[in-house]
Structure 1
Amino acid sequence: MKITFIVIGTIVLLILLFLIYRYFAFKKEGAQAHKLRFERIQPLHEKLENGKEIKKEDVFDYAKDNKTRELTYQILSDYNKTELYPRAYFTIESGAESSLVNWLEFPTELDKAPDDIKHLEKVKIVFEDEDVFYHVFKYMTIEPHWAAKNGWMLGVVGPYFENSKPYDFPAATFSRCSSKFGEIEPKDEAKWVHENIALKRA
């Protein structure tokens, strides 16, 4: 009996140690991802911080890149300079794409920005007499990344509403990284995210 308690206690201790390790590893990976994202737009941020003149052409390449697009708008907003943001990328689709790319790059998800991404469909779901919208994308990676074998995968960004603005925070940005384009309809994947992610976070 004593040996049984020792074995159980050892197993529980190992599980606790693993959970503690994963917690701190998660925090470290998250901090590194945030640092990388900030470094990409650091030249623009330094100009704003130092009060230097910024023109629309200084912002364009940051807005064009889906890895820096969302953060660029947020920083311009912090400095009351959103009039410099290119109108071509001031759309919900552009903001949603950038949100999904940033989410996928997070270490606990795809662990990199996708090599290609395309907008597929805007899906409307009626929930409690209100129209809720999700944007569905397909994305892919190339070898040697582990997800390359999956081909085109589906990602969903939302929920958005009739009065949503392009860079409002989409709380249910999500991809299962296993839902393959051609096997699952975009509207079905949006419905899954609505029911299993958005409603549980509400």
Structure 2
Amino acid sequence: MQAILLVIGVSVSAVATFVVYRLLTVRRQNAKLNQQRFDRIKPLYDQLENDGELSHQQIYEYAKSAQTREMTYLLLSEHNKADAFPAEFNTIVKAAESNLVSWLEFPTELNACPDEIEHLKRVTIDFDGQQNYVHYEVFKYKTYEPHWAAKGGWILGVVGPYFDDSKPYDHPSATFSRVSSRLETTTPDEEAKWVHENISMRK
């Protein structure tokens, strides 16, 4: 009996140790990623903090990249300069693309920025049967070798929910991508519905 209890105790201890290690590792990785994200827009930040004027071309260079677009808008907004953000990137689709790319970079997700990403469609869902609609933007993305997700083609990613009165850079609470959901086997509508039911509605 004592031997069984000892084995159980050792097993529980091992699991607990792994969980703590994993939690600390993820936190450390997330902190490192957040620093890298800030470093990407630091030149803009420094110039704004020093009351410098930003040219349209300076802002455009940061807005055109999905990796820096969302943070650039938020930075400008914090400095009351959101009007300077290029109009062509001030759309829900462009904001959603940047949000998805940022989400995919997390170590617990793709741990990388996709090499290619394309918007597929908006999927609208009546979430309560009373003609109250939410919208999800669905993308396809892929990575190149040697990334582990490169095999299998295009992967689906969903960003939302958005509402009829949502602004482009309102925070979407249910950004998600199941790496197993490939365009060859899952439709955008099916994936948006899965995210709506399993991510959005459970928050």
Aligned to 2:198: 196
SS at match of 1:191: helix
Task: Spell out the pairing of 1:2-151 with structure 2 (5 A cutoff).
Answer: 2-128=2-128, 129=130, 130-151=132-153
SS at match of 1:67: helix
- Partners of 2:6 and 2:152 lie apart in 1 by 44
SS at match of 1:68: helix
TM-score computed with the length of structure 1 as normaliser: 0.98
SS at match of 2:201: helix
Paired residues of 1:92 and 1:167 also in contact (CA < 8 A): yes
Aligned to 2:154: 152
**Shift in Å, 1:150:** 2.1
The total of aligned residue pairs comes to 201
SS at match of 1:143: coil
- Partners of 1:174 and 1:13 lie apart in 2 by 32
SS at match of 1:135: strand
Runs of 4+ in 1 over 4 A off after TM superposition: none
Paired residues of 1:66 and 1:101 also in contact (CA < 8 A): yes
**Shift in Å, 1:55:** 1.8
- Partners of 2:140 and 2:117 lie apart in 1 by 6
SS at match of 2:151: helix
**Shift in Å, 1:118:** 0.1
**Shift in Å, 1:57:** 1.4
SS at match of 1:139: strand
**Shift in Å, 1:182:** 2.3
**Cα deviations across residues 20-42 of structure 1 (Å, max 9, x unaligned)?**
10111111011011011111111
SS at match of 1:150: coil
Percent same amino acid among aligned pairs?
51
What amino acid is the match of 2:27? K
- Partners of 1:74 and 1:177 lie apart in 2 by 28
- Partners of 1:2 and 1:183 lie apart in 2 by 52
SS at match of 1:138: strand
- Partners of 1:42 and 1:119 lie apart in 2 by 28
What amino acid is the match of 1:43? P
- Partners of 1:12 and 1:107 lie apart in 2 by 26
TM-score computed with the length of structure 2 as normaliser: 0.98
What amino acid is the match of 1:76? L
What amino acid is the match of 1:26? V
- Partners of 2:119 and 2:184 lie apart in 1 by 14
